[in-house]
Structure 1
Amino acid sequence: MRSKELSLSVKQAIIRLKKQNKPIREIARTLGVAKTTVWNILKKKERTGELSNTKRPGRPRKTTVVDDRRILSLVKKTPFTTVGQIKNTLQEVGVCVSKSTTKRRLHQSEYRGFTTKCKPLVSLKNRKARLEFAKQHLTTKPSQFWNKILWTDETKINLYQTDGKRRVWRRKGTAHDPKHTTSSVKHGGGSVMAWACMAANGTGSLVFIDDVTADKSSRINSEVFRAILSAHIQPNAAELIGRRFTVQMDNDPKHTAKATKEFLKGQKWNVMQWPSQSLT
């Protein structure tokens, strides 16, 4: 990126100081310019005898190198800032540029505006537990172990609500950096409940639950959950895996309820231990 050319008076000052036998380092420090710039101007004067600025093709840049660095610094420090906010911040220090110019500078530095990835809000303790769980199973479990897992989960699908999307400035490959994501928490207000399962070699049943069979908050309660397990675990496991299988489920309250635990114990199914706040 080419910087703004020095004024003629500064170039003349460089020549004047050089005639006083000042070293290039001292000239650069005195005038606040780079040593290479001083050297190039002296060489040009020696070669052509000229100091005037050469005419550049096209429209002059609206920002200096310092301005460009300031724009980049703003999005690095606050990735969720908007182009309008950047424009206002620059105006406060006397730099007047348009939104389109600001976008071009960010694009030139490989920054693009993306919709944020929404990731669950997980505590530091649970993050460490999940990582340890993953490391242990990665190193101690053979690949055949995963072929025997029947993965299960249920979800609530919200039909009428804003998606809560935000825009963030980032480079490619940094979508899941914590400073580029938004956090989500579970909340009420959905209308469709579903339970499903899958294994290494395919998907199983997709079960829709009527609001009538769920509690008032449209959540599947322990009783409904046990009925689903009783009707669908064994047939799906037999079809996808075989007689020997392990059931996976997260630590939702209905999964860890006393009645659910007693039901699972009576079925004599092998249930996989699962760390808190982990997704299937």
Structure 2
Amino acid sequence: MEYSKPWATLVPMLSEKNRLLRIEWGKKNENIHWCHVVFADEASFWLKPGRVRLWTKRNRKVIQLTTKHSAKLHIWAAFSSMGTFPLCFFRRNMDATFFVNILEWHLIEQAEVFHGQKWFLIQDNDPKHTSRIAKAWMEKNMKKNQRKWPSQSPDLNPIENIFGWMKQKLYKDNFTSLVQLEKRIQEIWDYITPEFLAPYYKSMSHRCRLVVEQNGSKINY
């Protein structure tokens, strides 16, 4: 058996400026206490995913029917060495104000339960995360709990690996409603323990070294 029609993995194109920023970030952060870092991001889950891996006999043509515009759920998720944070499910488009509400409701209290005042948030440079509204709120409420992030660097954030693992488990099942999909996402999230998360946050020093060694290019994570 072999995979019938492999597709390329899409990765961000890195400019020279981005590579230099990634190198600088790797050097600066290799030796920080990653056990106190909160990794956060958003992800989308489709009721009927638009592409499915199919394993077939060699030279056999396969047609896989999919839904062009499937219903979907979005989540905001976060984790640290102490465990996962409460998921936030939403179906609307996220704007800066809604993003700030998520941080207020789902981030700060749990981060302080886990780490007291000794925690830092890492998230990408999505426009909602870096908007004027978000920056002003974070400056007021968590000024000392932020770390800068190099652009175009999903390979440096282990929560992307968690999302990939979740989708592998999730799309083994078929769902007929968003209610079922949400329930299963929550079940998978609840399965995650601090022991499960340990290899992910402990990989960060190695990721930092690799990005420096590879001159800022994408690393294999």
Shorter-chain TM-score range: 0.5 to 0.7
Native 8 Å contact 1:147 1:241 kept in 2: no
Q: 1:243: which partner in 2?
A: 117
Tell me the TM-score normalised to structure 1 length. Answer: 0.43
2:79 to 198, 212, 216: 198
Where 1:205 maps in the other structure, the secondary structure is coil
- Say whether the 8 Å CA contact 1:156–1:190 is kept in structure 2: no
Q: Is the contact made by 1:204 and 1:240 (CA closer than 8 Å) also made in structure 2?
A: no
One-letter code aligned to 1:121? P
Contact kept in structure 2, 1:116 and 1:165, CA below 8 Å: no
**Counterpart of 2:147?**
272
Paired residue secondary structure (1:150): strand
Partners of 1:250 and 1:263 lie apart in 2 by 17
- How many residues were matched structurally? 139
SS in 1 for 2:140: helix
SS at match of 1:256: coil
Q: Which runs of 5+ in 1 are unaligned?
A: 1-111, 168-187
Q: What is the SS of the residue equivalent to 1:254?
A: coil
Q: 1:203 to 1:268 in 2, by over 3 A?
A: closer
- Aligned residue number for residue 60 of structure 2: none
CA displacement at 1:155 relative to structure 2: 1.2
Asked whether the 8 Å contact 2:85–2:107 carries over to 1, the reply is no
Give the aligned partner of residue 136 of structure 1: 28
Provide the rounded CA distance (Å) in 2 between the counterparts of 1:165 and 1:129.
Answer: 35
1:31-70 equivalence runs, <5 A: none
Report the Cα distance in structure 2 between the residues aligned to 1:190 and 1:266, rounded to whole angstroms: 37
Change (3 A) 1:277 1:165: farther
| Runs of 5+ unmatched residues, structure 2 | 56-68, 158-221
SS of 1:253 mapped into structure 2: coil
TM-score, normalised relative to structure 2: 0.54
Instruction: Kindly provide the CA deviation profile for residues 1-39 of structure 1, in whole angstroms up to 9, marking residues without a partner as x.
Output: xxxxxxxxxxxxxxxxxxxxxxxxxxxxxxxxxxxxxxx
Q: Distance in 1 between matches of 2:79 and 2:8?
A: 25
1:64-106 Cα shifts (integer Å, max 9, x gaps):
xxxxxxxxxxxxxxxxxxxxxxxxxxxxxxxxxxxxxxxxxxx
Percent of residue pairs identical:
25
Trace 1:67-82 onto structure 2 (pairs within 5 A).
none
Larger radius of gyration: 1
Answering whether residue 35 of structure 2 is matched by residue 147 of structure 1, we say yes
Moved over 3 A (4+): 112-117, 164-167
Answer whether contact 2:37 2:120 (CA < 8 A) is retained.
yes
Which amino acid counterpart does residue 157 of structure 1 have in structure 2? Answer: F
Residues 257 and 128 (structure 1), Cα distance of their counterparts in 2 relative to 1, 3 Å cut: same
Partner of 1:156 in structure 2? 44
Relative contact order, higher structure (CA 8 A, sep 6+): 2
Secondary structure, aligned partner of 1:192:
strand
